[in-house]
Amino acid sequence: MIDLPLKHHRMQLPREVIVGSEIFERIGEVCGRLGFKKSALIVAGSKTYDVAGKTVKTLLEEEGMKVDTLLVESATIKDAQVVEEKIKVLKPQVVFGVGGGTKIDVAKLSSANQKVPFISVPTTASHDGIASPVSSVKGFEKPYSVMAEAPIAIIADTDIIMRAPRRFVISGCGDVIAKFTAVKDWKLAHEIKNEYYGEYAASLALMSAKLVMQNAEFIKPDEEEGVRVLLEALISCGVAMSIAGSSRPCSGSEHLFSHALDMTASNHAMHGEQCGVGTIMMAYLHRANWRRIRDTLKRLGAPTNADELGVEKKDVVEALVAAPTIRPERYTILNKVNLGRRASEKLAKKTEVI
């Protein structure tokens, strides 16, 4: 008899998600429910420590927990190694990542490597990494994200997130709207390369993009309802990645463009801002309604062209040419159309990006 291996699909989902105003007081209660009663390590930046980390520390200490803090200022492999060393020495029951992007990425990766649960406490709503199982840390061979573990809990305080600069909310919207083309690319890879495609994960990512587009006029940093819609969309995108077991539902050709732009442009914009502009151009290639995407981004106050991104026109063309080489195993519309330099320039002009 031949022993056929069973095909496994692992989904790892957060157990607690709390989004709202003045919810930090519930941190102790959440930790209690999850069985963390003794010790914690908080990873934050110096700014995010002042904004939120300090409060988290005080609240956990009030619960009788031993709390250590480690401040990091960037998200490189080195930073993650420093955090890992600290975890090895302190052996905390749980690691908190308090911050926008980099702090959460570092805390997520190092806690996953050390097999310690991780709680995400975002201070901005600028991208879907706040809830995803993937981590974007610099220093690996490629600029894209690596698989880590999904946070066991996400505690997103809208009061703190609303105090962050407006640009962060705009970037978050761009990262969610990017799911339109990411899902199209995934479907295309399924049709052409017979890649695994999960309808449920794809629908969840797509629904998040639709909700953000429908609510574009309410999503402003000073509107709690709008910020909540965005946060829930970002968290749903993170969950979609957990269900898919990869970043596929949330990261397609528009993300490849953004990664390529990070490498070519000296002065690059925020992740979600770049992904938004990428979505306009990739939607055009997919023969989707690219104008609607551009108009929604405009309404949100998001960049829709090279000038607004603060990059050179030639950088946009360069990034379009380089995008398919960033992650060759990830099949997208860019592989199908195979743009050269001239066609890339034409695409950027046609969509008024340059």
Interface residue list for Zn ion (CB under 5 A): 175
Instruction: Give the shortest CB-257-to-Zn ion separation in angstroms.
Output: 11
42 vs 244, beta carbon nearer Zn ion? 244
State the sign of the Cα–Cα–Cα–Cα dihedral 171, 228, 128, 336: negative
Instruction: Give the shortest CB-174-to-Zn ion separation in angstroms.
Output: 9
Instruction: Give the shortest CB-251-to-Zn ion separation in angstroms.
Output: 6
55 vs 246, beta carbon nearer Zn ion? 246
Q: Which residue is nearest to Zn ion (CB)?
A: 175
Instruction: Give the shortest CB-207-to-Zn ion separation in angstroms.
Output: 17
94 vs 241, beta carbon nearer Zn ion? 241
71 vs 263, beta carbon nearer Zn ion? 263
Residue type, 142: K
59 vs 260, beta carbon nearer Zn ion? 260
Contact status, residue 87 vs residue 118, Cβ threshold 8 Å: no
220 vs 259, beta carbon nearer Zn ion? 259
Instruction: Give the shortest CB-255-to-Zn ion separation in angstroms.
Output: 6
Instruction: Give the shortest CB-128-to-Zn ion separation in angstroms.
Output: 6
Instruction: Give the shortest CB-225-to-Zn ion separation in angstroms.
Output: 23
53 vs 238, beta carbon nearer Zn ion? 238
